[in-house]
Every structure is written in C-alpha cells, then in structure tokens.
C-alpha cells in the first residue's frame, strides 16, 4: 500500500494540473471502486474549478469551487497516470477507472487494478465529520508535530513505540515502512515502551527529540526520492533487509525481523536499544 511519501509525491506531480484548473469532463468507467461512486458523481465534478489540491495523511483532497471536496485514497494498488499538456495522450488501460480532462490540457487517469481505492464528494460538514479524518493527529512534516506533541500522545502508554507511531491519532499518515526506518535513524528499539518518550509529567525526553527529527528526515528524503523518480535505486536502511549487516558505520549489528501488530518490523539488534 502506498505510504505518505508516495502519496505526497503524487500530490506534488499533479498539483500544477489540478490546482486552479477546471474539470472539463470526467469519464467514469465503472460504477464503483472500494465503494460505489457518489450520487451524480460526474455531474457534480464537471465544470468545477479546483481551488486547492492538498494532502491529509494518505488522502488527497481537491477543494472545489462548489465548496465540496473530492477526497481520494489510493488503496492497495491505485495510482494516477498523467498526460501533461502537449503530450500524446496515453492509451486507455482496462484499469483506468476515472479519467479527468482538465482545462489545463492535462488528462489524469486513476488506475487501480485491485479497486481498493476510494473517491468521495463531501460537503464541509461531512469532511469535518469524516470518521477517519477527524481522528487524525498532526501531520509529521508540520510544525504541529514536534517532541512535545509526541511526548503528550505517548505519556503513560504501555504499548511499544513502533505500534504507537502507527496509531494515526499520534501522528497522521506514518506507515509501517517509515516508522521502522525512523526508529533506526533515532537508534530506538521498536519494542521499547512508548511511555519512555515522555517524563511522568508528559514532557519530552531526549529520545522524543531524536525520534521526531528522524521521522521528518526519513519522510523528507523519501519524498525527494519519489519526486526525482529514484525511489527504487535507493534502498531502505532496515526495511526488508533481514539478516543483512546494519548500514550504520561502525555498528556491526545484524538486521532482525519480528512481528508487531500483525506487521513486520525490521531493526538492528545492536544499535537500536
């Protein structure tokens, strides 16, 4: 499933073609994705200007002139294929389920072989009450996410640090891969109690500062790799590298794998304590 850096890279790529551009036409090539498309989906989008194109956690949000918001989620296999203005339009694929024809000249196709993606049209009231969005914590790359906010969220928590990071109420959009990577950068064990990030009074310990800095660094680097289209050539530090030597200079440890919350956690047995 695409994680936050992949979704942010999509937002960055599509922003020049969605933002402040009018949706001239929409081809809807099936009745549903994960759930059925909203009532009058095509009609409610056609002719609307996108006033803002943003991201919240792993959701893309296009705020429309009508005051509705088009909320989109990539699901397991969803992606957007772009034909930029002046480019030859790509041949329609059988998995292209929604195609946006923009006044910018761009043609943007949502392709989703497994159809776990999602598109919804929400009023401001519905957006504020969305069962997922309204429970989200701070964005990890925002100023709202810092050592103090992490410590407050983890104070008294007996759960493991890795599992706390995957709680979207603690930090929005951080997924399994980048939580493992950040913990390695911060030299913290994924199995350590989340409560150790805070003092009994809820103030951040030194480890909370290291971890928030590491999260921001890991995500920023991943987004840069994605937007430069060098993602596959830049291997992870620990994720999916079981039994390999730790890449930290002078460590000499070995990458281990264990299961936490039904997901694989990769970490160095030597430098993450």
Domain membership flag for residue 91: yes
pLDDT at 231 over 70: no
Per-residue pLDDT, 224: 92
pLDDT of residue 257: 98
Examine the domain organization and report whether 116 and 166 are in the same domain: no
Q: What's the CATH number where 57 sits? A: 3.20.190.10
Determine contact, residues 110/78, Cβ cutoff 8 Å. yes
- The string of pLDDT tens digits covering residues 145-201 is 999 999 999 999 999 999 999 999 999 999 999 999 999 999 999 999 999 999 999
Same domain, 108 and 153: no
Catalytic residues: 2-3, 58, 263
Tell me the mean pLDDT in the region 216-225.
95
Q: How many CB atoms lie within 10 A of CB 12?
A: 14
Neighbour count for residue 138 (Cβ, 10 Å): 18
| Average pLDDT of the residues in 136-144 | 97
The answer to whether residues 107 and 152 belong to one domain is no
Within a domain: residue 140? Answer: no
Q: How far apart are CA 108 and CA 82, in angstroms?
A: 5
| Residue 232 confidence (pLDDT) | 47
Q: Evaluate whether 207 touches 186 at the Cβ level (below 8 Å).
A: yes
Do both 101 and 161 map to the same domain?
no
| Interatomic CA distance for residues 5 and 46, integer angstroms | 29
User: Is 259 a domain residue?
Assistant: no
Residues 92 and 189 in one domain: no
| Cβ contacts of 114 within 8 Å, gap of 6 or more | 75, 76, 77
Helix (H, G, I), strand (E, B) or coil at 98: strand
Do 158 and 79 belong to one domain? no
Q: Mean pLDDT throughout 79-107?
A: 94
Torsion of CA 111, 115, 117, 118, to 10 degrees: 110
pLDDT confidence of residue 233:
43
Cβ distance 206 to 163 under 8 Å?
no
Domain check: are 203 and 225 in the same one?
A: yes
Give the residue-averaged pLDDT of 108-113. 97
* CB-CB neighbours of 109 under 10 Å: 22
CATH assignment at residue 223: 1.10.8.50
Same domain? 190 vs 126 = no
Is residue 239 one of the residues assigned to a domain?
A: no
Domain co-membership, 129 together with 152: no
CA distances 249 to 146, 227, 245, Å, are: 27, 28, 10
pLDDT at res. 230 = 43
Look at residue 235 in the predicted model and tell me its pLDDT: 80
- For the chain, the domain total comes to 2
Confirm if 227 and 127 have CB atoms less than 8 A apart: no
Q: Which tokens is 180 given? A: 């493992």
Q: Are 82 and 1 in contact (CB under 8 A)?
A: no
82 and 169 housed in the same domain: no
Task: Give the pLDDT mean for 93-116.
Answer: 96
Nearest CA to 193 among 222, 240, 157? 157
How high is the pLDDT of residue 229?
64
Where helices occur in the chain by DSSP H, the ranges are 4-18, 41-45, 124-128, 147-154, 161-165, 176-185, 206-227
251 belongs to a structural domain: no
- Looking at every residue in the chain, the average pLDDT score rounds to 95
Provide the domain limits for residue 222: 147-234
Same domain (yes/no): 31, 128 = yes
Q: Where are the beta strands (DSSP E) in 74-208?
A: 79-83, 96-102, 107-111, 118-122
Burial, 205: exposed, middle or buried (Cβ in 10 Å; 0-12, 13-18, 19+)? Answer: middle
């Amino acid at each position: 499933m695409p994680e936050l850096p992949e979704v942010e890279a999509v937002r960055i790529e599509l922003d020049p073609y969605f933002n402040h551009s009018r949706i001239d036409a929409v081809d809807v090539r099936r009745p549903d994705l994960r759930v059925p498309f909203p009532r009058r989906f095509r009609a409610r989008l056609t002719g609307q200007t996108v006033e803002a194109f943003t991201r919240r956690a792993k959701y893309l949000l296009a705020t429309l002139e009508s005051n509705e918001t088009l909320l989109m989620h990539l699901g397991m296999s969803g992606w957007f294929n772009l034909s930029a203005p002046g480019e030859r339009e790509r041949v329609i694929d059988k998995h292209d389920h929604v195609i946006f024809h923009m006044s910018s000249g761009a043609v943007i196709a949502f392709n989703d072989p497994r159809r776990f993606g999602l598109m919804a049209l929400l009023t401001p009231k519905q957006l504020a009450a969305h069962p997922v969005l309204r429970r989200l914590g701070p964005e990890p790359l925002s100023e709202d996410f810092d050592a103090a906010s992490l410590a407050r969220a983890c104070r008294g928590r007996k759960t493991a640090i890795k599992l706390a990071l995957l709680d979207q109420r603690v930090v929005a959009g951080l997924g399994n891969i980048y939580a493992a990577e950040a913990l390695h950068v911060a030299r913290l064990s994924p199995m350590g109690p989340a409560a150790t990030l805070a003092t009994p009074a809820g103030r951040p310990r030194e480890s909370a500062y290291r971890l928030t800095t590491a999260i921001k660094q890991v995500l920023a680097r991943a987004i840069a790799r994605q937007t430069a289209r060098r993602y596959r050539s830049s291997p992870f530090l620990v994720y999916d590298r079981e039994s390999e030597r730790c890449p930290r200079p002078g460590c000499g440890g070995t990458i281990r794998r264990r299961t936490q919350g039904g997901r694989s956690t990769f970490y160095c047995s030597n430098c993450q304590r």
